[in-house]
Amino acid sequence: MKRQIVLIASLVAGLIAALLTSTYISSKNAELKEKEAAMRRKYGEMIAVCFVSDKTKGSVINPEDLTTCKTFRRGNEGAVYTKEELTSLYGRRLVMSVKAKVPIRKTDIEGYQRDDGLATAIKQGYRAMSINVNGSASVSGMVRAGDEVDVIGTFTFPSDEGKNKRGDLATLTILQKITVLAIGDETAKMRVRNLGAQSSGYTTVTLLVTPREAEMLAVAEQTKGRLTLTLRNKNDIFTETELPVVEFEKIREQIVELNRERNLGKGKTR
């Protein structure tokens, strides 16, 4: 009888211990989940690319190897591959072993080159300056990093002779043969790494200009009007030396002459 009591007491004690352990574990799990949720609120969240299973150094990446996983945005943004970049990993090799369900870092993949930022692309004596553009003002969004453009401004201001009426528009070429350093946040180097994929939907273009040119653009952007880019052939080294300020009267005076020149194959003179 005494042995049975001891056995029952041990069983009850074990059940109580198991219950207490389960309660403790549940409490800790809830605590960990709350801490994780708090960290996600603090550091943000993003969808990254990861492997379905562990991969060893030198493995070639196939589509079926990849999936997506959640991770913290802060500290990982720009350093890990996002779901939008998933297809760019196909056929590439790992330079180190990677665990499953762990975001793939760009340094894990063969061919990665660290981006030293835009500053290294700026020639001495020049500056990088961004201007606001919309789709049509950037040749329907087809201007790319590395291209060369002319910058045209259309404003409401009087001509030198004061002939323009208040509110009339006047257009003039501000700068010619200007190198585009970036469109949106994409530089020419980034475009090469992305195998020439075209970015879309950008609202800014960053140009390589001198300090004096930067001042002109800054004033032009603040003047009532808009800036437009015209795309150049990279092999076209010529610039116009005499470009007039164009307003409605100028268009009316020259439209016949301009069309005659185009029809005769004399598109422009230098």
Could you tell me which CATH number the domain at 45-108 has?
3.90.1210.10
pLDDT exceeds cutoff 90 at 53: yes
| Angle 202-129-179 from CA coordinates, rounded to 5° | 80
Mean pLDDT across the chain: 79
Q: How far apart are CA 110 and CA 23, in angstroms?
A: 47
- What is the pTM (predicted TM-score) of this model? 0.48
| Nearest partner of 87 among 113, 61, 123, judged by Cα | 61
- Residue for token digits 């052939």? 233
Q: How far apart are CA 70 and CA 108, in angstroms?
A: 18
pLDDT band at 209 (very low <50, low <70, confident <90, very high): very high
Q: How far apart are CA 104 and CA 195, in angstroms?
A: 19
Residue 234, CB-side half-sphere exposure with 13 Å CA sphere: 7
- Give residue limits of the domains in the chain: 45-108, 118-242
pLDDT exceeds cutoff 60 at 199: no
Tell me what pLDDT residue 182 has. Answer: 87
Tell me what pLDDT residue 49 has. Answer: 94
123-160: per-residue pLDDT in tens?
Answer: 889 999 998 887 667 777 788 888 999 999 888 755 55
DSSP state of 4: H
Strand partners, 94: 109
